[in-house]
A and B are shown apart, each in its own frame.
Chain A
Amino acid sequence: MSRDERRRRLTAFLETIRRPDVELDTIDEQDGLVGSGLIDSLALLEIITFLETEFGMDFSESGVDPDELSSIAAILDLIERRGR
């Protein structure tokens, strides 16, 4: 799967968990998801679940590093490194 395709799936998912008053296209790939107000810190849990189900990632082995989930670019890098 290409990075573009992964990005498309990720942003489609973020649409379902973003704050209703912040549009996804207002933030850059490098912007902090929580810092920009797109999602709240609790939504990180839903991102973890998404990565587990969509990309077969297992965090029980590596643990969760919130930094790796901090932006779209960071999440895409994480999927590239550890995704199925």
Chain B
Amino acid sequence: MSLAQRYASLSQLHEDPRLIAFAATPRGRALTWLVATLLLAPNSMVFSISPILALVLIAPQWRTQILCLGSIFVLDRQLTSNGLSGTGELAAMYAFIVGLLYLTYLAARSYRSLPHLVQRNSQIVLHALIGALMALSFLLPDSLTGEGRPAAAAIRSVRLLLPYFVWRMGYILLAGRRGSAAGSSFLDHLLYCLPVYGSTGVPYGKGYDHLKRCRADEPLALARSALAGIKLLVLVWLWVAARDALTLFVYGDPVYRLGSVLELDVFHLPRLGEVIANPGGVPYVLIWVSMFLELVDFTLSLAGPGHTVVGCLRLFGFNVFRNTYKPLLAQSIVDFWNRFYHYFKELLVEFFFFPTYVSVFKSYPRLRIFTAIMAAAFFGNLYFHALRDTQELVDLGLGATIAHIGPRSVYCFLLAVGIFFSMMREQQRRGAAAVPQEQSPLRAFRRIAGVWLFYAIIHIWNARPIELTITQRTRFFFSLFGL
């Protein structure tokens, strides 16, 4: 067997029929649980995932109920990590959050009986309501929102947690609009609103419709999904190790693992943020190296946590697509966008792109696509981050907020323009009349290099620290070309 064949068979272990058959047996399931627990050991999630996974592997038919049991811990962790501890305060917030989700579920279940205007614009109505609640929480006087006040818990939770829940509530309403919520239970939605498998403000695995479609129910399908999950958890170790190596050997920064600090003073490549702040102090070649490695580092920083969440989802029998799938090998800008942060892209597509696309400029195809891309990659992208960081932006004040949003606006605008041209280009390559392109390694390399170049450059306006001004970043960009 050649090296390539060995690699292929190793990387496709979860497709091996004999292994799948073994993983479906009681001993195989026990081994799956043990391996998953060991792989998750360095992650604090292991304490909630491991017992829940054991229960799911024993009684997969009760998966939804078991995962919702885990949701209680998720809500508790979210609330207590926000510094809330009083019994009354916590109880009020449990009731507020679960009540809000339940009301959304009821609205989705009876979607057809909602007023026509609300049905047509349910996402806008949802965001208007959430926005109003958020605004109210900031306008109320301290005498109402202060510690120990009866309303304080609910008001503070509005500010801290609604940006997290609003997209999940959006998916509940999407299920209502598509008619699938009518046959669902509240628990079907609770499991992704309070996901025990972990997540960020972006709902990994999306909502009810997607999870239902990806749900493996047969024993062999369940075993295959769990094996695919194990494979992702193994990849987490690889990507974490790769990022640690980059941090230690290239950036010369310390790495904290298992309570120890690893430090190597071998080489100190400046981070992109440092280069932007002081471009004159860094050799020209190293500036470009720093830009490209920032892209690699950023990708690795996303791949590790994303694989953990998707790996856990697969272990629970939801065989969903990876969040990050080899974006650094993408051969077009739009393909990179699709592979880099899949569930964020899906969020933007479902809540911004499609609604715009089906509503405007139907007689002007290019303008229609351009507007929809701007709605998603520019406006939606900015809106998501502004909503997520509302508390931080209010704390910063108006001037600092504008300074913070400015560079991100440039980043999102350039991203949207790049995606538009890439989409137009891809369109021309389709159809029976199109000539299949020869995929020579050199051609592939050139296309991949072009994608790297584009994303490395636009990342100039997205690099940390946020204190870097739009002027500094733009000046740095021009300095790359000797201007």
Contact = CB atoms under 8 A, between A and B. Distances in A.
Contact of A63 (B178, B338, B431): B178
Interface in A35-84: 39-43, 45-46, 48-49, 52, 58-65, 67
Interface string B435-456: 1100000000000000000000
Contacts of A5: none
Interface residues of B, number: 27
B326 interface: no
Given A61-B120, A62-B177, A63-B174, A16 B432 contact: yes
B434 interface: yes
Given A63-B355, A64-B358, A67-B213, A17 B431 contact: yes
Contact of A17 (B120, B334, B359, B430): B430
A42 B431 contact: no
A48 B357 contact: yes
B413 to A, nearest CB: 20
Interface stretch (B243-251, B263-271, B384-392, B421-429): B421-429
A19 interface: yes
Contacts of A48: 357-358
Given A42-B426, A67-B213, A21 B334 contact: no
A35 B358 CA distance: 24
A76 B482 CA distance: 57
A28 interface: no
Most buried by A among B177, B357, B369, B436: B357
B423 A65 contact: no
B17 interface: no
B178 A65 contact: yes
Interface string A4-44: 00000000000111111100000000000000000111110
A54 to B, nearest CB: 13
Contacts of B209: 65, 67
A80 to B, nearest CB: 16
B358 A39 contact: no
Given A45-B369, A52-B362, A60-B359, A18 B430 contact: yes
A20 B365 contact: no
Nearest to B434: A20
A25 B365 CA distance: 28
A21 B338 CA distance: 21
Contact of A18 (B357, B359, B431, B435): B431
A58 B435 CA distance: 33
B417 to A, nearest CB: 16
Contacts of A65: 178, 209
Contacts of B432: 15-16, 18, 20
Nearest to B427: A42
Given A63-B174, A67-B209, A67-B213, A43 B430 contact: yes
A46 B178 CA distance: 21
B354 A63 contact: yes
Given A40-B426, A45-B369, A20 B355 contact: no
Most buried by B among A20, A58, A59: A20
B174 to A, nearest CB: 7
A18 B430 CA distance: 6
Nearest to B213: A67
A17 B16 CA distance: 34
A47 B429 CA distance: 16
Nearest to A44: B354
Nearest to B210: A67
Given A42-B334, A67-B213, A19 B365 contact: no
Contacts of B423: 42
Contacts of B429: 19-20
Interface in B75-122: 120
A47 to B, nearest CB: 12
Contacts of B355: 63
Interface in B338-361: 338, 354-355, 357-359
A79 to B, nearest CB: 16
A40 B428 CA distance: 12
Nearest to B120: A61
Contacts of A17: 430-431
Contacts of B213: 67
Contacts of A40: 426, 430
5 contacts: A16-B430, A20-B435, A20-B436, A61-B120, A63-B358
Given A52-B362, A65-B209, 9 more contacts: A16-B430, A17-B430, A17-B431, A18-B432, A19-B430, A20-B430, A20-B434, A42-B426, A59-B358
